[in-house]
Copies of this chain bind each other. A is one copy, B any other.
Amino acid sequence: MSTMPSRQPKRKDAIRTRAALLAAATECFARQGYEATNIRAVCAKAGANLGAVSHYFGNKERLYREALVLAHRELVAREPVPQMGAGDSPRRALRNWVRYLLRIFLLRRAAHPYAGRLIAWELRDPTPALDDLIAEVLGPVRQALNQIVAAALGDADEPELRARCANFVHGICVFHDQNRELLQRFGHPVPDREEELVVLADTIVEFAMAGIKRLRTQPSATSPRRRKTTRSRPSRG
């Protein structure tokens, strides 16, 4: 860890080795997550020595952070977060959003080969890097969904209801990624090709739009029509 040339590598070998290390790490982390990835395997795959990680990145965590940041930056650069255009209908916007998320998490050949898996792992087993990830990617993505839901809710839009609906859509999408094993055993393998994915996305959109519409006309659950005695002030008694 004496020098750690993260900037300005002094020799050509350096950038090559560093890049190889980063690439190998990205793949390993994407495949197995942070904990299960061991440095030795990464170095072997990169054709580098064991000490290389210490030398170039200091430790495992910093290597991971750099891989994660690089990957998600590239992902966003290649496939921007879908924003609801002025002329877009909520349905159309939602369709784009759902497809976007499913592509990232489900598709084998996504815009970035590893970013999706890296993000999925980070969501599953959060590390200190989650904050950055939220700030740069997950936050904006979620924000986009919130806006779509708000538009779909129209007059009935209200923070809690909006969040709830967004959670439902969000949940349906990530469920298919986070529960592959279970779905496999239930006989419903998760699609990993574009065509099937689009069908799934459209089904989700129909389902969700109807659900939102229902909650728009009858948001009984979150704010009871006739609130009966506020239960001795449950809020911060």
Interface residues of A (CB under 8 A from B): 35, 123-124, 126, 130-131, 134, 138, 142, 163-165, 167-168, 170-176, 178-179, 181-183, 185-188, 199-200, 202-204, 206-215, 218, 220-222
| A179 lies within 8 A of B174 (CB) | yes
| A202 lies within 8 A of B185 (CB) | no
Q: How far is the CB of A152 from chain B (nearest CB, A)?
A: 12
| A214 lies within 8 A of B221 (CB) | no
Q: A167-B175, A175-B170 are in contact. Are A207 and B203 (CB under 8 A)?
A: no
- The 8 Å CB contact of A221, one of B123, B134, B171, B203, is B203
- Residues from chain B with a CB closer than 8 A to the CB of A172 are 167-168, 171-172, 175
- Residues from chain B with a CB closer than 8 A to the CB of A176 are 167, 171
| B221 lies within 8 A of A206 (CB) | yes
| A123 lies within 8 A of B213 (CB) | no
Q: How far is the CB of A35 from chain B (nearest CB, A)?
A: 8
A16 to B99, CA, bound (A): 55
- The 8 Å CB contact of A210, one of B130, B134, B202, B210, is B210
- Residues from chain B with a CB closer than 8 A to the CB of A134 are 182, 185
| B175 lies within 8 A of A202 (CB) | no
